[in-house]
Structure formats: C-alpha cells, structure tokens
Amino acid sequence: MRMNHMTYKHIFFVTCLGLAFVLACSGTTYAAQVDDPFYVRQTYLQQIGMNQAWEAAKGNSGLTIAIVDTGVDLEHPDLKPNLVPGINLINPKEPPMDDNGHGTNVAGIIAAVGNNDRGIAGMLWNARIMPIKALEADGSGGETKLGEGIRYAVDHGAKIVVLSLGLNKYSAYMSDIVRYAEERNVLLVAATGNEGNRVKYPAAYPTVLAVGGVSPNGEVDRKSNTGPEVDVVAPWDVFTTGLGGTYEPKDGTSMAAPQVAAAAALVWSQHPEMKPYQIRQWIRQTAQDLGPKGWDPAAGYGLLRVDRLLTEPYRSDMYEPNDRKDQAAALSISKKVSASFTGGTDSDWFYIEAPYDGTVNLTFDMDSRYGVSVQHTDVTGVLASKSVRGGQTVSFPVSKGRGFYRLQLSDRNLTEEIPYQLTTSFDIYRDPYEDNDLQYKAYVLPSRSLTIKGTLHQNEDVDWFEFPVPHSGSLRIQLSTDTARMDPVLLVQKQGEKSITIDKADDGGTEVYYLPEVFPGSYYIRISNVKEYVNPVVGEYTLSIEYDAKLNDPNEPNNRSYQATTVSLETPYTGLLDKPDDIDWFQFRIAEESLVQIRLSDIPASVTIYMELYDGSMKMMAGSMNNASTSIQELSGRFVPGSYYLKLKSNKTFTNQMYQLQVNAKPLTGGYVDIRGHWAQNAITGLTAKQVVDGYGDYTFQPNRAITRAEVTAVLARAFQLAREGTSVFSDLPATHWAYSYIAKAYEAGMIDGYPDRTFAPDQPVTRMEMTAMLARSMNMIGKFRGLSPFVDVDERYWGNGILKQMKAEGLISGYADGTFRPDQQATRAEFIQLLYDVLNR
C-alpha cells in the first residue's frame, strides 16, 4: 500500500425491471404508490419493504443526516429542497459541490424528494442532508479529513453520519473520533467495502453500524467484505441521482450503507428519545435472517427490513430466550451490543466463533453497582469463571473455534431488570517464534523447505528469522497473508551483506523473492507490516521457504535391519532415500504400555514413501503409505513394552529435501493418556474396568471437561445396570440420539427428569448440584431438613439444600477449602466419576 486512501469501488451494476414486487414478510404484492417516473427502476426499495414502511413514515425533517463523501450536487433539482449548509474540507473557500458523483449517488438514496413527479423517490421524501466534502475528485482522501468531517457533523447538529468509504488501517485517531460521536449520541453508519475481504474501517469500529451488500437474488454479494464487524446487509444495486441533475445505476456497499442510515432516520422520527445503541440494536433485531440462524459474518443479522423496523416493537434483549447453553445466541468478536438481565436468576448464554487462538475480551457497560459472573467453556471443555463489575473488562484465553459464555448477575436476589451493553474484542495469539523482534533475537529455522504461520500481535511488531544454508543451492521466499488489514513487507539479508526490501504488492498481497544461487551461511528474513500500519492485526501471515540443495543422509548406512538407526522418543530424525534401491531402517523401544504415534513428515511432493512396522521378532505389524499429494503419514496405536522396527522405502529418489521421522509415546494409565497423577485416577480406572465409563477414541478421558446430562445418564444406567426401557417423553430427544436408550431406562427408573417445557437438553452441561441430585435420586435419598446448611454459599432456601445436607452427612460430598460448594458451577467428568465411585463403594 502506498497511500492510506478511503476509496469506493463500483465493479458492475444490474438493473432490475418490473412494477410490482413480492414482500418477503407477507407474500402480498404491492405496486409503487409514488409518481416519480424512475421509481420503477428502484427495485431495491421493495427488497427492503419500503412500501409498507412509507405507510408509517415518509421522512424526517427534524433530524440532520451528514454525508461525509465527495460532496453533493447542490443544484440537483431532486436533492436541493432537502439540503442544509455543509462544508468543503478540501477547499474551505468553496461550497461542498460534488466533483466526482459518489456523494450525490449516496444522497439520492436517502433523500431524493419523493412523489414530486420527478426522477426517483428517496427513502426520506423530506429530510435535512448536510453535505461534507472530505474526499478529492478521484475519490481518494486521508483519515485526517475523514475525522474532521465526522467531528464537523457532530459539532454542527447532525444526528446520523453516513460513511460510504473505507480503509484497511486501524487508527487510534479515528477510534477517538468514533468514540467522540458515540458519546454525543450521534449514529455512524458505514460501508464494509467491496473487495471480498475483511471489513474496512470505520465500519470495523465497534460502535459503527457496518453495512454489507446483498444482490437482487437475496444472497450476500461475493464482493461484499465480510467479517465479525458486519451488522446488516442492504441491496447492492441501486438507481439513484447523478451529477448535473441526472440519474444512474450504481452498485456496492457504498450504496447499501445510506439505506440503513435512512431507515435509522425514519424510526428515530417516531422515537426521538432513543439512543444510538438502541437504534443499532433495533435495526439488527428486525433484519431478515439470510444465512445461519442468528448473526453470521457474511450477512450479520440479516437484510435490512424497514417495514419491520417501523412496525415491530423494540426489545430490550433481542437474544432471549438464551437461558441455556443449547439456546446460546451468536455474538461477533468485535462489536458493541445491548441486552438485559430480567433479574438475578436470569442467565444469558452466548457463543463466539474465535477465528484463531487468542483472547476474547468482554467489556460491560452498565451501572458499576452491579457485578456479573461470566463462565466460559472453550472448545476443549475447559472451564473458567470470572467476575466483573460494570465498566470493567474480563478476558478469556481461547482456542480457535466456538466458545460459550454464560452471563449472570452476581447478586442472585435482584428482581428488577438490569440493562447492559456488551463490547467484544479479540487479541490474536502470540506466535511461537517470539521474542524475535530484533535481528539478534532471530528465530532459527531448520535448513529445509518449510511453511510456517505467524502473527503481528502487538504494536509495531516485526518478526526476524534466521535460515541457515548448509549447502549451495537456490532459495525462494514467499510471504502472504489472509487479511487485507496487513500489507506485508519482506526484508532479506545474507549475513555480512546488504539487505533487500521487497514491497511490491498492496494490502493483503503476496511478496516473493527468489535467489537462484545461494551459498553456505545464514540468511536473515524480517517480516513486518507497512510502516503506516502500526497496530496489532487479527490475521496470520504465511512464510514459505523453498530450499533446493543437494543433501546427505546423516543415518547411512542403515539399509539393513541390523544397521537400524536407534531412535530416541520425542526426537526428530531426518533422512533421504537418494538411490533407487535405498532402504532406511530405524528401531525404537517402549518401556511400558503406551499410546505410540509414528509420524513421517516433510515428504517431497510427488514422492510416495512406504512405511512398514515390525515387532522385535521381525513380524510385520502394520504398513502405510502417503498419497503423492500429501507430505505426511502416521501410524499410531496401543503398544506393549518391547522393541520395534521401521522400514522406509520410496517410489522415487529425492536429494533436495529431507523427510522427518519422529516417534512419540505417551504412557497409558487404565487405557488413558491424560489421567496419570490426577486426583480422580483411581475412580476413573476402577469404573473403566467395570465398563461403567469410557473415554474417547484418542485414548483420552478428558477429566476436566464439563459432563453433559446425556453422559451422566448413560453412566448411571450402566452403573446401576438398568434394564427396563420405557418410552422417552422428551421433545428434544430423537430415537437416533446416542443416549436415547440410557435416558429412557433412567427415566423409567425414576432417576432423572426433564424441564417443565418437556425438554431434556441432553447436551446441556450438568451443574454440581444437578450431579449431586441425580446420584441422590439413584439412592432414593430425599434429603435432610434439619440442621444448618453445610456450605457457606448455599442458602437455607436453596432447592437442593436438603440433599446437600444428607450427602455431606454421609461423607459422600465435600466442598472447597473456602467452605463453598459452588452448586451452579458446571461439573467435570472427574467430579462426577469420583462421586459415583464413592457412592458405589460406600
């Protein structure tokens, strides 16, 4: 990238013809009720339900909408009645006259005078449009002028600011401007961009309403930028006002954003007391879902529906019902939303899809008198619980994938509704090559062709690598990225020589450097973002190095089994198959029963390696081969103590790339690799031996993973050898569910019950109290009602207090060192198995 320009891009346009259109909400056909002659070409208005919306409101002359763009044609007869004074920031001595056309296109969508027997009908027939020229005639501009334009609009009475422009760079300056607008109750609406990449700024800031584009067929246009910041989409193709009093077709998210701004103005005219965050949430709430249920990174909350916006009541919490994990609502990793607690017992469940490993941050904007308990379950089932007060931020390390978050007021006795705003943000992981920000700290790479992924996770981050070249050959270095928010710069330097900087591609592009001849020595590689992009980037770069050199096999001679190279466990070994009859033998020893993984990697392209495994008596146990298009193959399984041999041969020779062999062994305890030394080890192995419990296909038990209602029921049915199977009465339990038979048996035996709505929620995690109650029911315990509560965090009125008293008195349960029991905390597999083991052996 050479300049930080805000640009718009029109790639193609489609004109849709027809006089009548079907509205998705009712199936009823409506004809246009305006006399503007080009209204028949404004098909996008029917797509968002404007016919019905106009029955409720046709304009808003009490609210000013600022358009920060290339200016507006101040003499256009279809716009002039709705214009108010603005400013030209490019040439302050001149009026904000449009010399490009883009700003005039945007203005017509919002406020071309309607029903005036001229041109087109804007979504607002009467309005107050403030033109602010912040872009040059070619559509380019800098963030300084953009910020000045937004601030001018805020300071001169605008209530909505339309920003049909964007850039890939995050800016602390622009972030402050956006915050300035939000603090003064001004709504910012921005286009996401048209490159088929990440959402651009300012649309990407958490409080800006980010608008993508949808084609006439109802699908998100493939060029509309997507990502966690998308709020809604609106039609991509429009017919609107042009320079010199003309009209023309246009397309892009630049044309979608003003539709959302106009919709916001219409609903604000009816509810002037509302705040920007409420208007944002109302637009999200009434959008027409297009993709997966709920929010998604392509369509956001869905297609703008102005008819719904003006007729459906505002909900203080659009995500309800989300009281259980299986009802969790989707959240973006980078947005500000609003919801509410109906009281201290209300739980709000959300899930967030983390695009990478990293950290999810949750900031609560609410009265600081209130505290919130946040419980997080990541994709591996590991639990974390933290508390936070209003105005504070809580952070959770996460793995790539879906994580669940349960929010609940800390004071469970509250009965009034407590509203809150929640801002999410994400910090990408620190890559494993850090700390390598300086050349003398360069991470040393192995001397072979490879591909690695890294991150620029902190301000002004640079990554240095050292690539030792042991033999003469050639070197090709390629640097690419998965996000347009990174404009990667590559620097290459042979030790003791001048450096070469490669920066030919723009944002999101790929840099390549080829050295046809390299000589032994160290080559240093520096990866950075273009100097203007100093902030951390949520995205990965990929560094690929192709090193072509003539190599020597360090293990030769090992062509016979009696010459086998002895392999140490957990240690990589490299080798070559460089002769037509070459065979490589290796041997290793297992001291105790273990899960063994034999991994052969870095196999050259188009080469197939045949791997055979033999026991100590040279009896063949297994064999494998890689597909010629893959570079990895594996053998794994449960190995008894003894010696083993590996034989490698290939379909063709290779001399310019080493394969890598590594043998890993994890000792097994009771058939599992992850319970040795665990406090519940004896219980797990004991019940496994009795076939009451089992683990997973990868020889893990995952003792700290949350246990579900279905898993608990299955274990109880096996433990108590339930045989009589009734009929399931639960509406969410199909006969095909893996635990159907167990649940039916346990229900017939009276051990379990469901929820009042006739659901069982089989995949819902079990709390410590539910776990205790299920086991008590299996033993026909009804609880004690005398005596004090045995735990400091269990009130006498708590529904399970009697059962806790009895179970504690009989020595079957104990709490934590601080005297608490934490009944609402999710139970782990180990906790349940230990309690069941104690019950069965009491």
98 catalytic? Reply is: no
Query: Is the pLDDT at 691 greater than 60, yes or no?
Result: yes
Our answer to whether residue 338 is catalytic in this structure is no
Predicted local confidence at residue 120, as pLDDT = 95
Whether the pLDDT of residue 10 is over 50: the answer is no
Mean pLDDT of 634-644: 95
Q: Residue 551 pLDDT more than 90?
A: no
Average pLDDT in the 292-308 region? 93
Non-local CB neighbours of 484 within 8 Å, separated by 6+ positions = 168, 195, 197, 198, 507, 508
Burial of 788 (0-12, 13-18, 19+ CB in 10 A): exposed
Residue whose pair of structure tokens reads 């080493």 in the numeric block: 658
Query: What band does 267 get if pLDDT is binned at 50, 70 and 90?
Result: very high
Instruction: Tokens 């695009």: give the residue.
Output: 355
Q: Count Cβ atoms below 10 Å from residue 672 Cβ, excluding itself.
A: 24
Quote the pLDDT of residue 380. Answer: 74
pLDDT of 62: 86
Query: 580: buried, middle or exposed (CB in 10 Å: 19+, 13-18, 0-12)?
Result: exposed
Task: List the structure tokens of 366.
Answer: 């609410």
Q: Among the options 36, 69, 378, 507, which is catalytic?
A: 69
Q: What is the pLDDT of residue 753?
A: 85
Confidence of residue 832 (pLDDT cuts 50, 70, 90): very high
pLDDT at 12 (0 to 100) = 25
Mean predicted confidence (pLDDT) in 460-481:
94
Q: What is the mean pLDDT of residues 810-828?
A: 91
pLDDT at 379: 67
Tell me the mean pLDDT in the region 581-587.
Answer: 96
Catalytic residue, chosen from 254, 269, 334, 425, is 254
- Out of 76, 102, 376, 457, the active site residue is 102
pLDDT for position 320: 93
> Within a 10 A sphere around the Cβ of 717, how many other Cβ atoms?
26
Per-residue pLDDT at 528 exceeds 70? yes
Distance CA(47)–CA(55), nearest Å, equals: 16
The tokens of 303 are what? 């297609």
* Nearest alpha carbon to residue 388 among 420, 356, 349, 342: 420
Could you tell me the two tokens for 692?
């009451």
pLDDT value at position 376? 94
What domains are defined for the chain?
A: 20-311 (3.40.50.200), 325-428 (2.60.120.380), 450-545 (2.60.120.380), 561-667 (2.60.120.380), 681-840 (no CATH)
Who contacts 572 (Cβ-Cβ below 8 Å, separation ≥6)? Answer: 660, 661, 662
pLDDT per residue over 138-174, tens digit each?
A: 988 888 999 999 999 999 999 999 999 888 889 899 9
Contact 195, 226 (CB under 8 A): no
Query: Tokens in use for 198?
Result: 């990440």
Does the annotation count 76 as an active-site position?
A: no
**Vertex 455: Cα angle to 171 and 630 (nearest 5):** 140
Whether the link from the prior residue into 292 is cis, omega within 30° of 0, is no
Residue 456 pLDDT greater than 60, yes or no: yes
CA distance 483 to 488: 10
Mean pLDDT for 600-624 is 94
Residue-level pLDDT at 781: 85
What are the DSSP calls for 286-341, one per residue? Answer: HSB--SSSS-BTTTBT-B--HHHHHHSPP-S-TT-S--SGGGPEEE-SS-EEEEEE
pLDDT at 199: 95
C-alpha distances in angstroms, 23 versus 207, 268, 283?
30, 23, 18
User: pLDDT tens-digit profile of 389-446?
Assistant: 999 999 999 999 999 999 999 999 999 999 999 999 999 999 999 999 999 999 999 9
pLDDT in tens, 772-792: 988 888 888 888 778 888 999
**Residue 583 has which token pair?**
């065979």
User: Using CA atoms, how far apart are residues 15 and 216, in angstroms rounded to an integer?
Assistant: 9
Spatial distance between the Cα atoms of 611 and 585, rounded to a whole number of angstroms = 10
Q: Which of 319, 191, 320, 207 is nearest to 260 (CA)?
A: 191
pLDDT at 33: 65
- In sequence order, what are the residues at sequence separation of 6 or more whose Cβ sits closer than 8 angstroms to the Cβ of residue 779? 839
pLDDT over 80 at 117, yes or no = yes
The mean pLDDT value of the chain amounts to: 91
pLDDT surpassing 60 at residue 280: yes
What pLDDT is recorded for position 22?
29
- pLDDT for 550 equals 74
Q: Which helix (H) or strand (E) holds 15?
A: none
Secondary structure percentages of the chain, helix, strand, coil, to 5: 20, 30, 50
Q: Six-digit token pair at 726?
A: 């009734």
Q: Find how far residue 677's CA is from the centre of its chain.
A: 35
